[in-house]
Amino acid sequence: MFDKLKLPWENLISILMDSCNIMRGSKSGLETLIRKHKAHHMLDIDDGDSCHHAHNAAKSFCEPFEKEVESLLTKLYNDFKWSPDKKQALKLICEALVIQGTTPENYVSHRWLSVYAVYDVCVDTDRLWDAYVEFYYSFLSDSDHSTYLSVLQDIYKIHNVDKPTQDAIKKVQKMMKEKIKKRMTKEGLQRVKYIVQKIFHTGPKTKVIIHVFVSVLPLLKKYVMLFQGEKPMVHLLNDKETELLQDFLACFINSEKLKDATARTLIELKVEEPTNHLPDATIFLAKYIHKKLPASLAKEIIVKLKAGYVKCAQCLQRKMPVNNSL
């Protein structure tokens, strides 16, 4: 294209592209070859697409939770994908609970913060949670029906569901048990068994992890939404990158370490060092987790939460060029 348009290579100031090896590899990447053979003077303005880095940082945060939520999201999507009967039953339950009814969406695995990525699907799942409880109650064993009956009754109280509407929900549940369950494949039954496990047997833990994702990922999504808009925002780029890093570190790093911190200080801070951390009880979301879960389980989730904070912060430190003087 440069030859076709007769553009001198001296006019090329910099290149901005995704961070894959083909484009930005240090030995044979396109940018490296152009700098070596065509435009020796090129400036290194930014390390690839910073929105892409935010996506990867979000993925890093979720890794310590071992895909407990992501697996549930996939199972829910597949369970409703080819079943009009299930979609209709869920719709009726949502109407009875006065919840906005939508069928589960499949998250986009390579974009953690885009439309219908993990964050958005978690928001939908959180909104539909009570409807899922009512829906999958039909697939519990007879012994579990009595165990979790109080959970259903609590949902009726929260949503002010009267007796006739409760009876209507029971009819839907009976229909699913008698009609849908009988026609399910072996694979479908295994999938439902997994979903029931996550919603009922380990329900509080699953819901807490969903709330963790819904609470933390917006810190990163806010940055992505700003720089994926139509208006040029390059004049805010460095400020917002620095702000993102500082705000995220504040979730678990001692405020004294962040007070009057420069960009260089933020980049060089050893986020994995426990002496730089806030006490476990005061990191972002720790109080919420202790409130919702038994002590031993809360401790397990907080260990994963801290690991997620560290991995995400390290990704931001490594990839966001907040200390780029240019």
Residue 281's pLDDT band (cuts 50, 70, 90): very high
Question: Residue 46: what pLDDT?
Answer: 60
Residue 126 above 70 pLDDT?
A: yes
Q: How far apart are CA 28 and CA 44, in angstroms?
A: 16
Which has the minimum average pLDDT: 4-18, 84-98, 141-155, 306-320? 4-18
Closest CA to 217 of 61, 322, 49, 110: 61
Q: How far apart are CA 273 and CA 326, in angstroms?
A: 30
What is the tens place of the pLDDT at every residue in 169-212?
A: 999 999 888 877 778 889 999 999 999 999 999 999 999 999 99
Q: What percent of the chain has pLDDT over 70?
A: 97
- Top pLDDT among 123 and 234 is at 123
Q: Is 266 exposed, middle or buried (0-12, 13-18, 19+ CB in 10 A)?
A: buried
Residue 47 above 70 pLDDT?
A: no
Residue 108 above 70 pLDDT?
A: yes
Closest CA to 208 of 145, 135, 129, 151: 129
72 within 8 A of 205, measured Cβ to Cβ = no
Task: State the CB neighbour count (10 A cutoff) for residue 248.
Answer: 26
| Residues in CB range of 278: below 8 A, 6 or more apart | 252, 253, 254, 255
Where b means 16+ CB within 10 Å and e means fewer, 17-38 reads: eebeeeebeeeebebeebbeee
Residue 163's pLDDT band (cuts 50, 70, 90): very high
Question: Residue 223: what pLDDT?
Answer: 92
Question: Residue 180: what pLDDT?
Answer: 79
Q: Is 96 exposed, middle or buried (0-12, 13-18, 19+ CB in 10 A)?
A: buried
- Residue extents of the structural domains in the chain: 67-205, 210-319
Token pair listed for 246: 């500082």
- Is pTM beyond 0.85? Reply is yes
Question: Residue 158: what pLDDT?
Answer: 96
In the DSSP assignment, the letter for residue 253 is: B
Instruction: Check residue 6 and give left, alpha or beta (phi > 0: left; psi -120 to 50: alpha).
Output: left
Alpha helices in 159-236 (DSSP H): 163-175, 181-183, 186-196, 203-227
